[in-house]
């Protein structure tokens, strides 16, 4: 965590002291790691993410001229926009995520007063740990407080999802924004993505801990096959609904129902996508029950089966993530491992005995570097609280 006084000093260097006399306020929203339940969120199914202690900080000073000035410690320059003229511009890069949030507030009929915002984050970009949702949620929670808006965290998560869907152009589900907003330290969140029913699941792992491994294979989801996978699932659910009219989404399709209608899904690619989603929903529920019962061995096995399904059926892993998966499984003390996030690069999450973590990092690094030429980065995965204002 950066020192808040240092962030405030950096803000002043970037934006000056100003003449509003307004106090600088600091907000935070975490990234997330999804423990299991991948590519089930946009199909209305179950996911089991946990908020991280990594995330995005925003130092904010209100304005009264309805202008926004945005800057980041990770990128040069400033982006300046009028509150009434928020449009997507590719040249603005990262700033399109907060701009999407402004746009959604505009569509609600709000007249935003404007503010200066300095962003600082420690989530690896393009790693699949939801840096974009973190930026969106820290912007949303800041505006809620700065503008005294009456919106719940779930309202803000839905707004941030719309920003990414409609403004940025990525058809993500609700999981990332929900986990960033609603995370709770020491817990994962079991979320049903179509109804937003949720409950907290204690992460009591005994002698084991979660280790995130960044493949350092960068990817951009808006340029990947993510939207194509979503379209394939939508085509599949249309076929299902023609034969089972009562089914609203894939997330509500039971294994028995799938066995009944799968013969109608004749396109091999669509069949594989649906087969993954339906079994992944079952794995997510089974994993939750295993965690709640303290059965860490079973939880690890569900992680492995999830990755294999994402590799063979949903086809979103790629050589880098698959190599990390193979190398991790060869380490004594690793109970389970899988890709996390949308795939096509990014990270794996592994369940590793605390005494084996050092060996895990060494062996995975040697094997992965030898096969890919890339060097992985490791993060210890502690669950944290969701989006909030920081008062110290």
Given a contact cutoff of 8 angstroms between Cβ atoms, the answer to whether 340 and 330 are in contact is no
Look-up of token digits 């949720």: 198
Q: Choosing from 116, 176, 194, 275, which is the catalytic residue?
A: 176
Catalytic site residue 176?
A: yes
Where are the extended beta strands (E) located within the chain? 25-36, 46-62, 67-72, 75-82, 114-121, 187-192, 197-202, 208-214, 334-340, 347-353, 377-380, 388-390
Cβ atoms within 10 A of the Cβ of 215, count? 26
Phi, psi of 73 (to 5 degrees): -70, -10
Distance from C-alpha of 58 to C-alpha of 77, rounded to nearest angstrom: 16
Q: List the beta bridge partners of residue 32.
A: 51
Angle 252-312-326 (CA atoms, 0-180°, nearest 5)?
A: 120
Strands 388-390 and 25-36: antiparallel
Given a contact cutoff of 8 angstroms between Cβ atoms, the answer to whether 377 and 368 are in contact is no
Radius of gyration (Cα) for the chain, nearest Å?
21
Distance from C-alpha of 247 to C-alpha of 243, rounded to nearest angstrom: 9
Q: What's the token pair of residue 80?
A: 């300046």
Angle 31-35-41 (CA atoms, 0-180°, nearest 5)?
A: 80
Just list the catalytic residues.
176
């Amino acid at each position: 965590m950066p020192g808040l006084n240092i962030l405030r000093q950096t803000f002043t260097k970037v934006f000056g002291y100003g003449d509003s006399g307004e106090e600088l306020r600091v907000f935070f929203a975490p990234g997330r790691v999804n423990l299991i339940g991948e590519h089930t969120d946009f199909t209305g199914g179950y996911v089991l993410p946990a908020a991280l202690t990594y995330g995005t900080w925003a130092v904010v000073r209100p304005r009264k001229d309805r202008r926004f000035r945005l800057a980041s410690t990770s990128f040069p320059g400033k982006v300046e926009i009028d509150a009434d003229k928020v449009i997507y511009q590719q040249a603005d890069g990262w700033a399109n995520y907060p701009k999407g949030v402004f746009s959604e507030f505009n569509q609600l009929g709000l007249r935003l007063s404007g503010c200066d915002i300095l962003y600082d984050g420690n989530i690896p970009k393009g790693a699949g740990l939801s840096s974009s949702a973190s930026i969106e949620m820290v912007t949303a929670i800041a505006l809620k407080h700065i503008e005294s808006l009456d919106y719940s965290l779930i309202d803000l998560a839905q707004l941030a999802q719309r920003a990414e869907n409609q403004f940025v152009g990525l058809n993500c589900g609700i999981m990332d924004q929900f986990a960033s907003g609603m995370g709770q330290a020491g817990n994962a969140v079991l979320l049903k993505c179509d109804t937003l029913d949720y409950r907290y699941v204690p992460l009591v792992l005994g002698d084991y801990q979660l280790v995130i491994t960044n493949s350092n294979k960068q990817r951009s989801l808006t340029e990947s096959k993510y939207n194509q996978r979503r379209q394939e699932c939508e085509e599949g659910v249309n076929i299902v609904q023609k034969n089972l009219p009562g089914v609203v989404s894939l997330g509500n399709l039971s294994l028995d129902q799938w066995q009944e209608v799968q013969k109608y899904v004749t396109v091999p690619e669509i069949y594989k996508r649906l087969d993954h989603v339906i079994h992944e929903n079952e794995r997510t529920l089974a994993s939750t029950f295993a965690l709640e019962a303290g059965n860490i061995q079973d939880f690890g096995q569900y992680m492995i089966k999830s990755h294999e399904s994402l590799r063979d059926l949903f086809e979103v892993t790629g050589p880098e993530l698959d190599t990390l998966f193979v190398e991790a499984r060869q380490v004594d003390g690793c109970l389970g491992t899988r890709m996390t996030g949308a795939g096509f690069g990014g990270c794996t999450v592994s369940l590793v005995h605390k005494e084996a973590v050092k060996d895990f990092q060494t062996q995975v690094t040697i094997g992965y570097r030898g096969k890919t030429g890339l060097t992985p980065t490791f993060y210890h995965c502690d669950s944290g609280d969701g989006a909030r204002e920081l008062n110290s």
